[in-house]
Amino acid sequence: METPLSPVKHPKRALIAGAVGNFIEWYEFAIYGFLATIIAHNFFQLQGESALSGLILTWASFAIAFFFRPLGALVFGRLGDRLGRKPVLITVLILMTLATTAIGLIPTYATAGILAPVLLTALRILQGLFAGGEYGGAVALMTEFAPRGQRGRYGAWQSLTVAFGLLAGVGLVALLSWLLSPQAMLAWGWRIPFGLALPLGLVALWLRLAITETPDFVRQQQQRVRAAPRQGCTAPDDKNYFPGDRARHAVVLRRLYLSGDHARLFAVGATYRYESGAADCRDRQCGLRIDNYPGGHRQ
């Protein structure tokens, strides 16, 4: 049995397996946000509604995923504590990848009518649920596999892959907008970034299938089994699932507040501002404008 100080096998493999799912999550965030005008035209140009109304509905579908992320984090975090990090992370990765890929396959409003925006919104909700389970579970996977004294360094890769995923998504949209005409981008080019989530997800799945369960989870399960004869039950104590002292609750609430403020700055700076007049012509169609990042401004 491993002790808390014993070396962990294949920590770098586990690091990559955990980080790649977060990369896919934020890659999808980028492509959806920077293709917002095209998505609005294809899915939310409802009869009698203006282009602005369609864009507002697109941003609503963009935002709705964030409302479901906390629920996904609670549900899949609880399952991860009960069933293990590996099986839960494999499950959320598969479901998140399928939901993202499906966005690139569903029919538009011109083909399916009102069913098109309904399907798109449903897929965005599912993405939010699965992404919520992915983020926290991946952090647990990476830090619990980290060598002694390197948990902070390994956990930092979760934030690094946010930047990598955004850059990959924006870069791909930029490349497609350069290679394709605006008409082609509007008709079918926008589907390509969503379709590429499938091979990315398969690579991530292969990496996660190759790792073992985290040493910390295995150790906790062994401790529960040893404690079972004294307690008369092998199930975890639900009363201790959430910390009982007020200090920890205060820390959790503070972190939730700071995370919300960070998300507001992130979304507004990286995706929304270009829609408010900071881009024009072909750039506006594909959501590309360098000065839309936080701190950027229109000359």
**pLDDT single digits (tens) 192-229:** 999 999 999 999 999 999 988 888 788 877 777 666 56
Helices assigned H by DSSP within the chain: 11-34, 36-43, 51-83, 85-103, 109-112, 115-145, 151-179, 182-184, 191-195, 197-209, 215-231, 246-267, 281-286
Domains and CATH numbers, the chain: 11-217 (1.20.1250.20)
Q: What is the pLDDT of residue 275?
A: 52
Q: Which amino acid is at 109?
A: Y
pLDDT at 261 over 60: no
Dist. CA 163–CA 178, nearest whole Å: 22
Contacts of 295 by beta carbon, 8 Å cutoff, 6+ apart: 269
Which of 19-23, 143-147, 264-268 has the largest mean confidence?
A: 19-23
Contact 181, 39 (CB under 8 A): no
Task: Return the structure tokens found at 10.
Answer: 């294949």
pLDDT at 114: 92
Average pLDDT, the chain: 79
How far is the C-alpha of 162 from the C-alpha of 298, rounded, in Å? 25
List C-alpha distances in Å: 110 to 13, 50, 116, 208, 284: 45, 16, 9, 39, 22
pLDDT confidence of residue 174: 94
Q: Rounded to two decimals, what is the model's pTM? A: 0.75
Q: How far apart are CA 184 and CA 105, in angstroms?
A: 16
Top mean-pLDDT range of 4-13, 63-72, 92-101? 92-101
Which candidate, 92, 108, 102, places its Cα nearest to that of 122? 102
Q: Alpha-carbon distance 144 to 154, whole Å?
A: 9
23: which 2 tokens?
């990369």
Q: What mean pLDDT do residues 109-117 have?
A: 92
Residue 120 has pLDDT above 90, yes or no: yes
Provide the phi-psi class of 84: left if phi over 0, else alpha when psi is between -120 and 50, else beta.
left
Q: What is the pLDDT of residue 91?
A: 95
DSSP state of 147: P
Instruction: Give pLDDT, residue 212.
Output: 87
Give the Cα separation of 28 and 217 in Å (integer): 30
